[in-house]
Chain A
Amino acid sequence: MPPTTDFTFPTYHQSYPPFYTLQPNHQTLTSQLRKWSRLIQRYARHHSLFKLSLPATIDSPLFKNVSLKKRLSLQDATKVLDWMCTDEGGRRAEKIVEGGGGGGGGGGAGVYWIWWKRPEEWGEEIVGWVERTGQKGVVLTLYELTAGEGSRGEEFWGMDGEVLRRALAGLVRKGRAQVFGGEGEEGVKFF
């Protein structure tokens, strides 16, 4: 969905300085990480962001509060995102290893997928739309799915190609869809 309004940050992001310091107490830290995670997901969703690259966004309003003169340091932001990659963090992020593609963990550039919806959840979303619009058994191109007129206004409209491919791959594995064609002009059929 295209952002129609400005993103509203929660009050603690606006006016609570300690939010920008990762807390030394483990219990407090866990609840703080959870809050950051939810905030990042909401932010990404609002702006239809699928990837977050760390050195680049560290100065964005997400991590930096100009009026409060506080910021989440690069090191702490990395900690938050790494935590989001863990099971405890609900695997709401995934580090992208250099050279693109998936695969969790490892070193490399600080670029992360932000899973405000995980690929399997995206798959469900697409299947839901296909069923609602009675297009089961119809061959659709990937372009149609994410850039066509028919799906305009859906949340997956304009989504990242790589995420789409992963979502579809998940459906193919479950035998709920089939992907044909070569790179660039793939089509997909849902059962």
Chain B
Amino acid sequence: MSSRRGVGLSAFQNRSSLSTSYASHGASIRSEHLTSLQTQLSVFRSLLHNFAIQHADTIKSNPTFRAEFARMCNAIGVDPLAGSNVRGKGGGAKGIGSLWAKVLGGDVNDFYFELAVRVVELCRASRGENGGLLGVDECKESVKRGKAIGGGMDVSDDDILRAVKSLKPLGSGFSIVNVGSKQMIRSIPKELNKDQSSVLEAIQILGYVTCSMLEDNLGWEHARAETVIKDLLADSLVWVDLQAPEKEYWSPALMNDFED
């Protein structure tokens, strides 16, 4: 290929041949790239396959390991939960979709679905005392000590979050909300307003609140504090202690003792 700048008519021919050869070269580079990517992908797939087979037991039994594994899947854009239901997300991930179904689908998926069932059970059982707002922490502890069929399961926060997420397609209204620094599972589709959230947050930090504490710390008028508290009481989101000098309002989180 000549780099000499042509003059006259031949220059046109030269230029067009130049651009075709550029194009063909580009295409060959691209296809090379593609094959190498495909090889990489297939190598990776088989490695992942091996890894999953080798560590299936650990994935099921060790919460830390499972969380790391889930994080890894997340990072490479594979959803272990979606894997077995959705047959291949898009052309490229086709093989991976069925891989999950074959290798992990039975195990990892069932694990999360089973966990989700327990979470739903716990939410339902405790709804009376916590108004449908169950802390992820408390939920985790209860699952660990669980008396449900099959005994306790060793799970991490991450597992619980994932399990709740897996309920989404059911349209069940289960979701994760942040109240203060705490993550909670909401099993009743109800929005907390800003005042209610700040009261729940204060309770988390202080253990309990009274109307005058709200007035002093948040600068609220008495009527405002009282209204918020009344709403929270009506939604079973707080419990009242009338035996204190001033009415104290407590979070029901401590009531979550499924031992009895």
Segment with Cβ contacts to B, from A7-15, A77-85, A101-109? A7-15
In the complex, are the beta carbons of B239 and A28 less than 8 A apart? Answer: yes
**What residues of B have a CB within 8 angstroms of the CB of A31 in the complex?**
126, 128-129, 255
Segment with Cβ contacts to A, from B40-48, B70-78, B156-164, B241-249? B241-249
A19 to B255, CA, bound (A): 8
Q: Mark A51-71, 1 if CB is under 8 A from B, else 0.
A: 000000000000000000111
A42 to chain B, nearest CB (A): 7
B244, B248, B257, B260 interface centre (most CB from chain A within 10 Å): B260
A94 to chain B, nearest CB (A): 22
Known: A17-B241, A18-B241. A25 touches B254 (CB 8 A): no
In the complex, are the beta carbons of A18 and B129 less than 8 A apart? Answer: no
In the complex, are the beta carbons of A18 and B250 less than 8 A apart? Answer: yes
A71 to B126, CA, bound (A): 24
**What residues of B have a CB within 8 angstroms of the CB of A118 in the complex?**
none
Total inter-chain residue pairs, C-beta < 8 Å: 67
Decide yes or no whether A30 CB sits under 8 A from chain B. Answer: yes
A15 to B250, CA, bound (A): 11
Decide yes or no whether B259 CB sits under 8 A from chain A. Answer: yes
The tally of residues in B whose CB lies under 8 Å from a CB in A reads: 23
A106 to B255, CA, bound (A): 33
A27, A34, A39 interface centre (most CB from chain B within 10 Å): A27
Q: Across the two chains, which residue of chain B brings its CB closest to A42?
A: B260
Chain A interface helix/strand/loop/mixed? helix
A80 to B242, CA, bound (A): 17
B10 to chain A, nearest CB (A): 91
Chain A 15-52 interface residues, beta-carbon cutoff 8 Å to B: 15-21, 23-25, 27-28, 30-32, 34-35, 38-39, 42
In the complex, are the beta carbons of B260 and A21 less than 8 A apart? Answer: no
Decide yes or no whether B233 CB sits under 8 A from chain A. Answer: yes
B124 to chain A, nearest CB (A): 12
A18 to B248, CA, bound (A): 8
The one of B131, B234, B240 that contacts A18, using a Cβ cutoff of 8 Å? B240
B76 to chain A, nearest CB (A): 43
A59 to chain B, nearest CB (A): 15
Q: Across the two chains, which residue of chain B brings its CB closest to A39?
A: B260
Decide yes or no whether B236 CB sits under 8 A from chain A. Answer: yes
A36 to B153, CA, bound (A): 28
* A–B complex contacts, Cβ < 8 Å, 27 sampled: A10-B257, A10-B259, A10-B260, A12-B254, A12-B255, A15-B254, A16-B239, A16-B255, A17-B250, A18-B240, A18-B248, A20-B241, A21-B239, A21-B242, A21-B243, A23-B239, A24-B233, A25-B234, A27-B236, A28-B131, A28-B236, A28-B239, A31-B129, A31-B255, A35-B260, A69-B243, A71-B243
Interfacial residues, chain A to chain B (CB-CB below 8 A): 10-12, 15-21, 23-25, 27-28, 30-32, 34-35, 38-39, 42, 69-71
5 new A-B contacts at CB < 8 Å, known A11-B254, A18-B239, A21-B240: A10-B259, A19-B255, A20-B241, A24-B233, A25-B234
Interfacial residues, chain B to chain A (CB-CB below 8 A): 126-129, 131, 208, 233-234, 236, 239-244, 248, 250, 252, 254-255, 257, 259-260
